[in-house]
Amino acid sequence: NTAHDVTAFGTGVFGDRKMFEAQAFEGKFRLFDVTRGDGVVTYDNTTGTNLDVFSLNKMFKDGSAVDAHANAQITYDYYQDTFGRDSVDDNGQVLISAVHVGNNWNNASWNGRQMSYGDGDGLRFHPLAAGLDVAAHEMSHGVVQHTANLIYRGESGALNESFADIFGAMVDRDDWLIGENIMADGTLALRSMEDPTDLIERRTEAPYPDHWSKRYTGTLDNGGVHINSSINNKAAYLISEGGDHFDVAVNGIGRDKTEQIYYRALSLYLTRSSDFSMMREAAIQAAGDLYGSDSDAVAAVEQAYSAVGVY
Ligand SMILES: Cc1cccc(C(=O)O)c1OC(=O)C1CC1
Ligand SMILES: [Zn+2]
């Protein structure tokens, strides 16, 4: 009685029905999709034992497991379809998601091997697995790890975080907000790439920075990796959408070119210790490679990094 692929169904955290690839195994069904790379597998951390959430019929009822699984598949497909990348390591590594991690944990993480999602405490966050941009953010940490592997501290760490947000916003493509559908406290989002200052960062109690002169220089948050990421996030937003920022006019080139520039910079030019200035140079180089050294793309990158005070 071997396992075989099936199309299964489930309802997400917010009651939204969805369909996804799973597996029939010994008369049950489990969230193990072997059609993508070496697999996409989702399990309930509270049981811990099973690597999979079992369901007696093809209908899965654990909203977090359904969302984490479906979102991991969407994010796998994004990297495959957009960049020809086969999972986090470009070698089909199994995409593992654990849900119900911790006790009302207000976090999500990539621990070097898997994605983990807390249920949130219902005051700050709803279950974090419900956020497509959350899954894409976490998987993108895995992509960063297998490419530039940016040191998770100071400016390189802020770039690590920014790449996770950039690709998070490219997968969850209808806005430039991060975590907008999992906030339980009435705030617009966790972070905004469009206008970082729309949101107050809780540790500094200051608006997220949208210019290098406003960068956080303290020691909290590994030197502000979730704070100064907003400076590079703003640059990415400007490259794609354009705009006037601190008297610098940026002519946007759209999401399709922007995501290719950042992926090429990340996978070809950045290294573990790259800082914001090196980010600017890598993006200029990538834009030139892809679209020509005198292209609108190169101009947009130069304008955007000047607009956020990075030279
Ligand atoms: C909610 C949260 C807390 C701490 C770290 C992370 C982290 O993954 O860096 C985190 O997840 C996110 O930022 C995802 C995008 C919403
Ligand atoms: Zn992150």
91 lines ligand 1 (CB under 6 A): no
Question: Which among 151, 145, 140 is positioned nearest to 233, based on CA atoms?
Answer: 140
Residue 109 Cα to ligand 1 midpoint, Å, equals: 6
Please identify every residue annotated as catalytic: 138, 226
Residue from 75, 107, 144 whose mutation best tests the ligand 1 pocket (most atoms within 8 A of CB): 107
Written as six digits, the tokens of 201 are: 């960062």
Consecutive 10-residue averages of pLDDT for the chain (311 residues): 88 97 89 95 81 76 96 98 98 97 97 97 98 98 98 98 99 98 98 98 97 98 98 99 98 99 99 98 98 98 98 98
| pLDDT at residue 274, rounded to an integer | 98
Q: How many Cβ atoms from other residues are within 10 Å of residue 83's Cβ?
A: 17
DSSP 57-123: SSEE--HHHHHHHHHHHHHHHHHHHHH---TTTTS---EEEEES-TTT---EEE-SSEEEE----SS
Atom 16 of ligand 1 has which residue's CA nearest to it? 134
Q: Which ipTM score applies to this complex?
A: 0.99
| pLDDT at residue 51, rounded to an integer | 61
155 lines ligand 1 (CB under 6 A): no
189 lines ligand 1 (CB under 6 A): no
Predicted TM-score (pTM) of this structure:
0.97
| pLDDT at residue 1, rounded to an integer | 62
Residue 128 Cα to ligand 1 midpoint, Å, equals: 9
Residue 14 Cα to ligand 1 midpoint, Å, equals: 20
Closest ligand by atom to 190 CA: 1
| pLDDT at residue 57, rounded to an integer | 78
Length of the chain, in residues: 311
Token match 């690590």: residue?
Answer: 160
Residue 4 Cα to ligand 2 midpoint, Å, equals: 34
**Strands 177-178, 114-117: parallel, antiparallel or unpaired by DSSP?**
unpaired
**Using CA atoms, how far apart are residues 238 and 227, in angstroms rounded to an integer?**
18
177 lines ligand 1 (CB under 6 A): no
Atom of ligand 1 nearest to the CA of 164: 15
